């Protein structure tokens, strides 16, 4: 057997092995789906594996971890908590308040011919030279603005809750993109490694064939160029994988831990429900629309609160305790304990147009909120149609990309058979291998696009 035949047999064996390696994970699951094997367990660097078993993170785990660490999400939760306390304070403004007042008053006494007169204060507004006050006070104020402010606080709380939900759904999208971006980066790294190995084998084969005088030096040059390109692509794939790992670690670990692995569940895509069901969910669960509606209600209550400045305010006070010349419940056998009650009416007359200006301000804010509400309604319909169309297109393209990857695998198998019978060149075999790698990378990108599009649609509808 000549050297050329030995080399050809070795090349054929390696090409067949490559096709089997790439095709082995195909066909499991529904629809003959494709699966690329990672270069190391879950793509974890070897130096991290030496530090102990990596933490296995699922998508739900990653989302839960990110919720605990995201400053933007917690800022939205803080705003919701502040709005809830504002509502508590608004409720307190409608209810009676009870206070305890203690006071000591000293007034200069009145003197006649230099001699002070007993319990005769110099100032007519005071009751005695020495006056002790120790009383409990119950106060209630009937102010129309307080009622409007209460309902406004309820609406503001709804706005804060809706914005917290918006922040949560947006965080889910970010985590989904980072999570599956890392999964696909691992797949591409594995594919680039296998393609690089095939390029190295082909370079070695071409050199041996040249030494045997069976191929021209131009074949070796082309093989060398191909090998160099695949080595560059392999290093870039590794950089991309490490970058994706860092991006995900920043989201889910407080100590920037990189010793973790993820679960590749891209082969289990969620089914897309009908458009009618999606529209129904969007109308019920869309937080942007809910926030706009609550903001409009808040500004309407703001108008009522501003107009309440034209109305009178009634205040009621009830006091019980002592108001005497001695700090005691009895003085000379007479009880100092007693009560008093008062009612006050405050009627606004003139404040240089300040109330009118506040009313105009509140009306401007209400009109702006109404405009934003109508825009949010139109925007929801537009986003719903756009995102649904994107998910539908990504799903359809995913089927085409899966088919292309399967066809590329068949092309490699058939090209290998043609080469075995002498009808194809070695370069055609390698080109078929490269086409298979490119098709599988495109299919992986298509899966990520579908998951990201579905996550964006879920920001409008909640859980589909």
Q: Within 13 A of 17's CA, how many CA atoms are on the CB side?
A: 11
CATH class of 3-96+144-310+351-461: mainly alpha
| Structure confidence at residue 42 (pLDDT) | 43
pLDDT, mean of residues 198-202: 78
Residue 14, pLDDT > 70, answer no
Residue with the bigger pLDDT between 198 and 393: it is 393
Q: How confident is the model at residue 26 (pLDDT cuts 50, 70, 90)?
A: very low
Q: How confident is the model at residue 243 (pLDDT cuts 50, 70, 90)?
A: very high
**What percent of the chain has pLDDT above 70?**
87
CA nearest to 387, candidates 286, 459, 462, 285: 459
Cα 282 from Cα 274, distance rounded (Å): 13
Residue 302, pLDDT > 70, answer yes
Residue 38, pLDDT > 50, answer no
| Structure confidence at residue 344 (pLDDT) | 94
Residue with the bigger pLDDT between 241 and 48: it is 241
Residue 159 to residues 241, 293, 299, 310: CA-CA distances in angstroms? 40, 8, 11, 28
Residue 358, pLDDT > 90, answer yes
| Structure confidence at residue 154 (pLDDT) | 93
Specify the pTM.
0.77
| Structure confidence at residue 6 (pLDDT) | 42
Residue 408 to residues 26, 93, 177, 412: CA-CA distances in angstroms? 12, 73, 27, 6
pLDDT, mean of residues 359-378: 94
**What percent of the chain has pLDDT above 90?**
45
Instruction: Write the pLDDT tens digit of every residue in 307-330.
Output: 999 999 999 999 999 998 888 889
| Structure confidence at residue 52 (pLDDT) | 66
Compute the mean pLDDT over every residue in the chain, rounded to the nearest whole number: 83
Instruction: Write the pLDDT tens digit of every residue in 256-290.
Output: 888 899 988 877 666 778 888 888 888 888 899 99
Residue 352 to residues 142, 356, 357: CA-CA distances in angstroms? 24, 9, 9
Instruction: Write the pLDDT tens digit of every residue in 82-127.
Output: 999 999 999 998 999 999 999 988 888 888 877 777 778 878 778 8
Instruction: Write the pLDDT tens digit of every residue in 123-165.
Output: 877 888 888 999 999 999 999 999 999 999 999 999 999 999 9
Q: Within 13 A of 358's CA, how many CA atoms are on the CB side?
A: 16
Q: How confident is the model at residue 422 (pLDDT cuts 50, 70, 90)?
A: low
Residue with the bigger pLDDT between 371 and 119: it is 371
pLDDT, mean of residues 421-441: 80
Provide the 10 A C-beta neighbour count for residue 27: 12
By CB atoms closer than 10 A (0-12, 13-18, 19+), residue 133 is middle
Residue 9, pLDDT > 60, answer no
**Using CA atoms in the order 185, 188, 190, 192, what is the torsion angle rounded to 10 degrees?**
-130
| Structure confidence at residue 249 (pLDDT) | 93
Q: How confident is the model at residue 2 (pLDDT cuts 50, 70, 90)?
A: very low
């Amino acid at each position: 057997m000549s050297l050329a035949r030995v080399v050809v047999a070795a090349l054929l064996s390696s090409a067949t092995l490559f096709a089997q390696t790439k095709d082995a994970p195909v066909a499991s699951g529904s629809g003959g789906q494709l699966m690329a094997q990672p270069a190391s367990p879950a793509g974890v660097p070897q130096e991290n594996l030496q530090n102990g078993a990596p933490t296995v993170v699922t998508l739900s785990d990653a989302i839960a971890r990110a919720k605990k660490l995201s400053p933007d999400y917690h800022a939205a939760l803080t705003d919701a908590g502040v709005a809830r306390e504002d509502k508590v304070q608004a409720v307190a403004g409608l209810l009676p308040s009870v206070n305890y007042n203690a006071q000591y008053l000293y007034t200069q006494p009145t003197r006649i011919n230099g001699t002070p007169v007993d319990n005769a204060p110099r100032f007519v507004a005071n009751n005695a030279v020495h006056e002790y006050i120790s009383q409990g006070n119950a106060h209630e104020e009937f102010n129309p603005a307080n009622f409007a402010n209460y309902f406004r606080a309820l609406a503001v709380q709804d706005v804060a809750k809706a914005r917290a939900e918006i922040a949560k759904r947006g965080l889910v999208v970010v985590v989904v993109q980072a999570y599956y971006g890392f999964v696909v980066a691992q797949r591409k790294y594995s594919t680039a490694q296998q393609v690089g190995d095939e390029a190295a084998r082909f370079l070695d084969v071409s050199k041996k064939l040249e030494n045997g005088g069976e191929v021209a030096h131009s074949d070796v040059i082309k093989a060398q160029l191909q090998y160099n390109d695949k080595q560059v692509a392999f290093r870039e794939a590794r950089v991309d994988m490490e970058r994706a790992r860092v991006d995900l670690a920043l989201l889910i670990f407080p100590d920037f831990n990189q010793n973790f692995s993820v679960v590749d569940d891209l082969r289990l895509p969620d089914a897309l429900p009908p458009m009618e069901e999606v529209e129904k969910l969007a109308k019920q669960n869309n937080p942007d629309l809910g926030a706009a509606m609550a903001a409009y209600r808040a500004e309407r209550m703001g108008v009522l609160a501003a107009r309440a400045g034209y109305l009178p305010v009634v205040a009621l006070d009830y006091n019980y305790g002592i108001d005497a010349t001695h700090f005691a419940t009895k003085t000379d056998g007479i009880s100092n304990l007693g009560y008093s009650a008062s009612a006050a009416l405050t009627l606004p007359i003139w404040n240089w147009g300040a109330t009118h200006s506040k009313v105009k301000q509140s009306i401007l804010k209400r009109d702006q909120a109404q405009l934003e509400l109508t825009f949010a309604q139109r925007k929801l319909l537009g986003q719903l149609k756009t995102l649904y169309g994107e998910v539908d297109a990504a799903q359809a393209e995913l089927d085409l990309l899966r088919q292309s990857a399967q066809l590329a695998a068949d092309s490699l198998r058939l090209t290998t058979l043609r080469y075995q019978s002498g009808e194809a060149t070695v370069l055609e075999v390698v080109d078929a291998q490269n086409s298979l790698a490119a098709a599988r990378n495109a299919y992986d990108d298509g899966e990520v696009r579908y998951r990201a599009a579905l996550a964006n649609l879920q920001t409008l509808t909640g859980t589909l």
